Amino acid sequence: MINSKELKNRTKDLSILYVEDHDELRNSTNDILKNFFNVVDSAEDGLQGLKLYQDYMQKSEGKSYDIVLTDIKMPKMNGVELTKNIYNINPSQTLIVVSAHEESQYLLPLINLGIEQFIQKPLDYQELLKALQKASQKVINKKEETFNIPTHIVKMDNSFTYNRDTQSLLNQKENVYLTKYEIIFLQQLTENVGKIYSNEDIVDNYKALNESIDSQNIRKLISKLRKKLPEDSLESIYGIGYKFIPFYE
């Protein structure tokens, strides 16, 4: 369960844009967001959301909202088009997409655009806070000028680290044996922590390295790899793909 006080400590100085066409949901979620964020703006469709985004950048002398939270199916401009437009303005924008079950056909185009976080409708309060926690930590990490851990070191929890340079997994100081295929998989998922990689992405990556793998063997590989990694460090998104879950202290 997400600690609300902890989350507020992360988000109290941050800004968020919320785009949702359903009035009741937008208003109720807006009230929740105001408990956490310094600036909360909301729009009723993608076109209005894009205008607010552009206006905010103009008023803030080029500074964008820290987080954008958007629905997919909206009038005038849907969430996919809004995402494209925002990424054209700011490719590093942190963005969360809210999707209904029947909108699954939009998910792959959004993943291809670079979306890392999805939450499902109807909105669950804890799931919303969990997504906001991940997004806000990502924003904070971007803003930090220095890091205690080198960028080639991926921290998985308080015990496990993966070194991308040496391609080695350590539990405390003990080396954890990895097969060649496990190393290839970890190298890909830790290249952009939090990004969702589809089966096609993974197959193409192995192919580029003159190796072969199919969807069934990807599942077997992940099942074996999970036994070597911290619990919940790899997430499977049904019908979409896989991602590495960042660790936040």
30-61 confidence digits (pLDDT tens): 999 999 999 999 999 999 999 999 999 988 87
Is 10 in the same domain as 130?
A: yes
With vertex at residue 151, the alpha carbon angle to CA 145 and CA 152, rounded to the nearest 5 degrees, is: 170
Q: Measured in whole angstroms, how far is the alpha carbon of residue 189 from the centre of its chain?
A: 13
What is the average pLDDT across 155-175?
Answer: 89
The residue segments making up the domain with residue 49 are 4-143
Q: Is position 62 within any domain?
A: yes
* Among the ranges given (2-6, 8-12, 98-102, 128-132), the one the predictor scored with the smallest mean pLDDT: 98-102
**φ, ψ for residue 176 (rounded to 5)?**
-105, 125
Q: Is position 182 within any domain?
A: yes
- What type of residue is 34? K
What does the chain come to in residues?
A: 249
Is 132 in the same domain as 165?
A: no
Is 15 in the same domain as 138?
A: yes
- Residue 237: pLDDT above 50? yes
Rounded Cα distance between 200 and 165, Å, is: 25
